[in-house]
């Protein structure tokens, strides 16, 4: 049985786990009276990278906020490892293995780098070990551990945001434009780290990007989101470039 049929029928894989790590099923969501997403269905295969591409205002960030639980959909379902988490609070989704790195290199500006990470590590059995592992990926943060996060550069803050997400040892990672607004010299470094993370296994990624080249290089599957609707989807990789460009220019 192929992954595609499993996905279509919702059949579980032989290991007894659902083939999809995260599914958004016919999700409608928005803010107050403005609907943004119109019956969007996106699935993230286990240990794979799924990219959502689209122009500004297409609803990409709204999609991730809905997946993270910051927005409750008006209809539709959000499933994490097969479990319906549509009504679960964001922190409950984190406890179930979901991590979210929002747009804009967000951190707690008045907390030091070390506090930003300890905040997440507190109360976790493997908190200290997971923090060490996350810092191994971003060694520059070790030297900045006593500095307030608000005083870091954009690139450093994004590294901190990624590290903070990794301390929760997620199985599914939501990344919202991780290289947006970051100086070009650091962009490559962050892209490499994300690629390395996705290759080491045990992590499924839903990546929202405007930078098509990087997104397709990282992704096994892509979706194009336009005005709150999925207009195109397919397998990732460099060869999808043409199809995506065409879909985005429509």
Partner 1 sequence: MTVILGQSFTGISIGAVLLLIALGLSLTFGQMGVINMAHGEFIMAGAYTTYVLQKALGDAGLSLLLALPVAFAVAGTLGALLEWLLIRRLYLRPLDTLLVTWGVSLMLQQLARDVFGAPNVQTRAPELLTGNVTLIGGDDPLTVANSRLFILGLALAAVAALALVLALTPLGRRIRAVVQNRDLAEVSGISTARVDRTAFFVGSGLAGVAGVALTLVGPIGPTMGTNIIIDAFLVVVVGGLGRLKGTVITAFVLGVLQAVLEYSTTVSVAKVLVLVGIVAFLQWRPQGLYTLRTRSLV
Binding site for partner 1 (CB under 8 A): 68-70, 89-91, 94-95, 99-100, 102, 104-111, 115, 118-120, 122-123, 148, 150-152, 154, 157, 164, 168
Instruction: Please give the Cα distance from 135 to 115 (Å, whole number).
Output: 13
Minimum CB distance to partner 1, residue 171 (Å): 14
Minimal distance, residue 227 CB to partner 1, in Å? 25
Query: 206 near 129, Cβ under 8 Å?
Result: no
User: Cβ 239 to partner 1, closest distance in Å?
Assistant: 34
Closer residue to partner 1, CB minimum distance, 23 or 176 = 176
Is 42 or 149 the residue whose CB approaches partner 1 more closely? 149
Give the shortest CB-159-to-partner 1 separation in angstroms: 14
Nearer to partner 1, 90 or 234 (CB): 90
The span from the CA of 39 to the CA of 46, in Å, is 23
Residue 57 or 109: which CB sits closer to partner 1?
109
Query: Min. distance of Cβ 244 from partner 1 in angstroms?
Result: 28
Residue number with CB closer to partner 1 (64 or 225): 64
Q: How far is the CB of 168 from partner 1 (least distance, A)?
A: 6
Between 60 and 157, name the residue whose CB sits nearer to partner 1: 157
């Amino acid at each position: 049985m192929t992954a595609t049929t499993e996905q279509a029928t919702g059949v579980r894989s032989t290991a007894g786990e659902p083939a999809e790590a995260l599914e958004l099923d016919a999700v409608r969501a928005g803010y107050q009276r403005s609907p943004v997403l119109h019956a969007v269905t996106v699935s993230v295969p286990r240990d794979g990278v799924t990219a959502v591409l689209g122009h500004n205002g297409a609803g990409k960030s709204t999609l991730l906020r809905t997946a993270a639980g910051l927005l409750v959909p008006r209809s539709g379902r959000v499933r994490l490892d097969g479990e319906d988490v549509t009504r679960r609070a964001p922190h409950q989704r984190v406890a179930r293995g979901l991590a979210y790195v929002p747009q804009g290199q967000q951190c707690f500006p008045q907390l030091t780098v070390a506090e930003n990470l300890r905040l997440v590590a507190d109360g976790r059995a493997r908190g200290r070990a997971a923090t060490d592992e996350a810092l191994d990926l971003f060694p520059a943060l070790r030297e900045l551990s006593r500095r307030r996060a608000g005083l870091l550069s954009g690139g450093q803050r994004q590294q901190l945001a990624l590290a903070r997400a990794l301390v929760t040892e997620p199985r599914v990672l939501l990344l919202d434009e991780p290289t947006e607004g970051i100086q070009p010299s650091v962009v490559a470094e962050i892209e490499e780290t994300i690629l390395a993370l996705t290759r080491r296994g045990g992590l499924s990624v839903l990546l929202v990007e405007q930078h098509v080249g990087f997104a397709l290089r990282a992704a096994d599957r892509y979706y194009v989101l336009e005005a709150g609707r999925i207009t195109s989807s397919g397998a990732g990789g460099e060869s999808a470039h043409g199809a995506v460009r065409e879909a985005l220019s429509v």
